[in-house]
Amino acid sequence: MASACIASAFIDIILTPGALVSGGDYDRADVNHGPRQGEFDMHQTNPRPRRWGVILAGGDGTRLLPLTRRITGDDRPKQFCSVVGRETLLEQTQRRISRLVPKQRTLLVMTRAHEAFYGADVEALLPSEVLIQPQNRGTAPAILCSLLRLREMDPSGIVAFFPSDHYFSDDEAFARHLESAYAAAAALPERVILLGVPPDGPEVEYGWIEPGMSTGKPMPGCVSPVKRFWEKPHQGLATSLMEQGCLWNSFIMVGHIGAFMATVRHALPAMFEAFESIQPSVLTPSEGIELNKLYPRITATCFSQDVLSVQPGALAVLCAAGLGWSDLGEPSRVISVLKRKGVATDWGLKAAAAS
């Protein structure tokens, strides 16, 4: 494992904006001489938005700890566990999105407290490919912090946010729907596109998306405006939402960087201003210092509940059928996935008996 100083080194080192080369991939830039011949500074306006991906891997996975302790013997969050298959959930996520987004434009968001479980994984990454949060303050700060970094590097880009600890049984369907979501985001630059999953039960621990009718600009493909966002409804409401054709929120979101920034600014103005105050430090040696000062003052905030649910008009939803999706948030969901895959494990049998 990496030493304790590696995580902070990634954030304290000068994170040099790369340069765009033919084919659309970023390389490490020459900080003293600027873009090399045949390249241009990524701060310049590009009429063809580039794709970015952010993997959110900073959560603590507390709900699944009883099971992950059986698997690993320690308290590592589930994204660092081989829960379904030989790869960890984070490794599966990285492999799944590597066909959609170049590695150079994929940002991995971690939390410093988990360094013992990810140190070796980030050693091979460029500093611009990893963001270490000083503390876990929920999904909203993690997303906003990553948006500051992306806005500095490519303000006109389109970004997708991916949880690092979810399961998908069909990677081909996943890729097809993500291609459609990136295309929808390009066509609807003012909207954040959510991947909605057709439900197979009245789940009360998921967010639900109620699609609406389009009354303005036509929307592409299977994309609809969002009438309302319901976060963790009670059982009766979840049953009603399912009967009405509402969708589960997979927490995969795609949109222009500016669209995400606008949604956060509207929903969480105080937090937005707090992060904006450290913008001059982004991609400089003082970035880590400023984040260390800022994070203890931030209230833990959920992006679904505190951002998405309060402004459905800024959202659109793409119906993504056939994913075989689960957030693996509880031991019973893990056991259900393993049963569908025909996989039996000692820890799985013990967990099933305990539940």
> Is it the case that residue 248 has pLDDT exceeding 80?
yes
Per-residue pLDDT reduced to its tens digit, 6-23: 333 333 332 333 332 222
Q: Indicate whether 249 pLDDT > 70.
A: yes
pLDDT digits (tens, 9 = 90+) for 166-177: 999 999 999 999
H or E element: which one contains 27?
strand 26-27
Between 7 and 269, residue with greater pLDDT: 269
Q: Which domain holds residue 42?
A: 1-167
For residue 175, give every residue at least 6 positions away whose Cβ sits within 8 Å of its Cβ, in sequence order, or none. 96, 99, 100
Does 298 reside within a domain? no
Whether 350 is in a domain gets the answer: no
Is residue 28 in a domain? yes
pLDDT tens sequence across 204-222: 999 999 999 876 677 877 8
How large is the C-alpha radius of gyration of the chain? 20
For residue 16, being part of any structural domain is answered with yes
The whole-number pLDDT of residue 344 equals 67
Q: Which residues of 68-84 are buried (b: 16+ CB within 10 A; e: fewer)?
A: bebbbeeebbbbbbebb
Which amino acid appears at position 177 of this protein?
A: H
325: β partners: 168
Judge whether 251 lies within some domain.
no
Q: Kindly report the number of other CB atoms within 10 A of residue 354's CB atom.
A: 10
pLDDT, residue 25, reads 34
22: left (phi over 0), alpha (psi -120 to 50) or beta: beta
Structure tokens at 175: 């890729």
Residue located via tokens 């590597």: 98
- Detail the DSSP E strand segments found in 113-270: 130-133, 158-163, 167-168, 192-197, 207-211, 223-231, 247-256
* DSSP classification of residue 299: P
CA atoms of 118 and 10, how far apart (whole Å): 13
pLDDT of residue 165: 94
Task: Give me the amino acid identity at 331.
Answer: P
Lowest-confidence region among 116-130, 242-256, 272-286: 116-130
Look at phi and psi of residue 53 and say left if phi exceeds 0, alpha if psi is from -120 to 50, else beta. Answer: beta
- Percent of residues, the chain, with pLDDT higher than 90: 70
Find the Cα–Cα–Cα–Cα dihedral 275, 277, 280, 282, rounded to 10°. -20
* pLDDT tens per residue across span 327-350: 998 888 998 899 888 776 665 545
CATH code for the domain of 130: 3.90.550.10
- C-beta neighbour count of 164 within 10 angstroms: 25
CA proximity to 162, closest of 257, 87, 93? 93
- pLDDT for res 213: 87
Q: Which of 13-27, 77-91, 133-147, 242-256 has the weakest average pLDDT? A: 13-27
51 occurs within a structural domain:
yes
pLDDT band at 109, cuts 50/70/90? Answer: very high
Q: Is 254 helix (H, G, I), strand (E, B) or coil?
A: strand
Specify the number of domains making up the chain.
Answer: 1
How much of the chain exceeds pLDDT 70, in percent?
A: 83
Banded model confidence at residue 291, pLDDT cuts 50, 70, 90: very high
User: Is 157 inside any structural domain?
Assistant: yes
Cβ neighbors of 60 (< 8 A, separation 6 or more) are 77, 111, 136
Q: Are 64 and 71 in contact (CB under 8 A)?
A: no
CA distance linking residue 109 with residue 149, whole number of Å: 11
Query: How many other C-beta atoms are found inside a 10 Å radius of the C-beta of residue 338?
Result: 20
Look at residue 353 and tell me if it is in a domain: no
Confidence (pLDDT) at 35: 34
| Euclidean distance between CA atoms 175 and 334, whole angstroms | 23
Expressed in angstroms, the distance from the first to the final Cα of the chain is 34
Residue 73: partners with Cβ closer than 8 Å, 6 or more residues away: none
Q: Output the pLDDT for position 258.
A: 98
Closest by CA position to 245, among listed 272, 279, 222: 222
Tens digits of residue pLDDT in 31-76: 233 333 322 233 444 456 899 999 999 999 999 999 999 999 999 9
Among 76-85, 119-128, 154-163, the range scoring the smallest mean pLDDT is 119-128
pLDDT band of 119, cuts 50, 70, 90: confident
